[in-house]
Amino acid sequence: MPEPASPVTFPPAFLWGAATSAYQIEGAVREDGRTPSIWDTFSHTPGKTAADETGDIAVDHYHRFRDDVALMAELGLSAYRFSISWSRVQPTGRGPAVQRGLDFYRKLVDELLSHGIKPAITLYHWDLPQHLEDAGGWPERDTALRFAEYAQIVGEALGDRVEQWITLNEPWCSAFLGYGSGVHAPGRTDAAASLRAAHHLNLAHGLGTTALRSAMPARNTVAVSLNSSVVRPLSPSPEDLAAVRRIDNLANGVFHGPMLHGAYPEGLFAETSSITDWSYVLDGDLAAINQPLDALGLNYYTPTLVSAASESSDGPRPDGHGASSYSPWPGADGVAFHQTPGDRTEMGWTIDPTGLHDLIMRYTREAPGLPLYITENGAAYDDKPDPEGRVHDPERIAYLHGHLSAVRRAIADGADVRGYYLWSLMDNFEWAYGYGKRFGAVYVDYATLTRTPKSSAHWYGEVARTGSLPPVTSAAAE
């Protein structure tokens, strides 16, 4: 009989974490001075979310955070990535902080540190204060200036205890799903506004990075989390390769170009010239955006498959970003999206770990020497408790095994990947999908808010404690 495969080991200092975001888990939306964010408004607008569900209570992490931290420690996590609710700290998005709001995060950080868990803060995970949206939102330059002030406040409050900082989470979603296709808050459908929003999110990142560094000890690190797309052609034809370049500019280059290289990608301005003249890119903006990063966060779920459009390309757009008659791809009407082959999660997203390896290696080439973190990766499945109350999710274990194996292959190929944050710690409010899509390693009974670690939580916890992946056969047997 063949010898059993050896476990796949990770570097000793590799961070093993899980991730969440404020509006998805905290609840307590009207407590301690917090005012509505765009997601409060959006989710309370009939027809915008599944079953008109909201994050009013979510999973009540605001009141249960100590138990949640204890659960993280029990599972063996070494890091926890969470986001700050901007309107909990600055109810109008401007002016002095509400100390009660900051106190919640102070207590959360202290609780994490007391359990030996490294906190990682994301300043913005899509929940713009409604006051700022009423003033124009991300399409307006002033929002970037307000973000820098907010970053300064939070950096001064928590920078003495939190070393790992992320400015923005997935600015592509904020700009193009929020202002282009309208499937995310604030639900606007204006292609020109989506491109303005993208630029001002870039500017917010740069100004926010500078503000954080002025407010915190030099030992702290600043990063950004991008949901960069792995864009592949349906065929090797010149037309399909041109479609890849166009989508790559809109999905990736529009953010990493200014952030990493100080310039928007060649072709982007021409490809969108019928929509905007980009006159809002002012002298000095690109230098302000192009701040040196200490690390780059990569969020990955599934690859993107495109071709040149044809007469048969009409119908729903299978780009994995929700149903809307308005496109999140400004200037790309000549591009068709295709469902990639293979097994899928409950989101309809194809399971393809090779995409994660390709993404890591791309940024290893794109930004040599820049440390990388996988700040989100995970899968939604239709998890249900068995008669004994246990939740077995072998599909998620297989998903994680495949993607963690891809991370390890990338490290072997020379990539400097320093940590992995599972999305998500627990089931939560999944944006426009409401509570119907369960990404958590911990099952939440939404009637009682009881937490139950799934099989994948125990499996991942063992990986975190040992720093090694068991052979794939062991994962399949869970």
Catalytic residue among 149, 376, 395, 462: 376
* Bridge pairing between strands 79-83 and 15-19: parallel
DSSP 391-435: ---HHHHHHHHHHHHHHHHHHHTT--EEEEEEE-SB----GGGTT
140 is catalytic: no
User: 315, 392 in Cβ contact below 8 A?
Assistant: no
CA–CA separation, 294 and 334 (whole Å): 37
Residues ≥6 apart with Cβ < 8 Å to 178: 38, 126, 138, 184, 185, 186, 187, 188, 194, 197
**Summary count for the chain: helices (H), strands (E):** 17, 15
Q: What are phi and psi of 444, to 5 degrees?
A: -115, 125
Handedness of CA 452, 454, 460, 462 (dihedral sign): positive
Q: What is the CA radius of gyration of the chain?
A: 21
Angle at 293 between CA 289 and CA 294, to 5 degrees: 165
Catalytic residue among 53, 111, 140, 170: 170
Largest CA distance in the chain: 70
The amino acid sitting at 146 is: R
170 is catalytic: yes
* Bridge pairing between strands 335-338 and 304-308: antiparallel
Residues ≥6 apart with Cβ < 8 Å to 311: none
The amino acid sitting at 157 is: A
**Could you give the residue numbers annotated as active site?**
170, 376
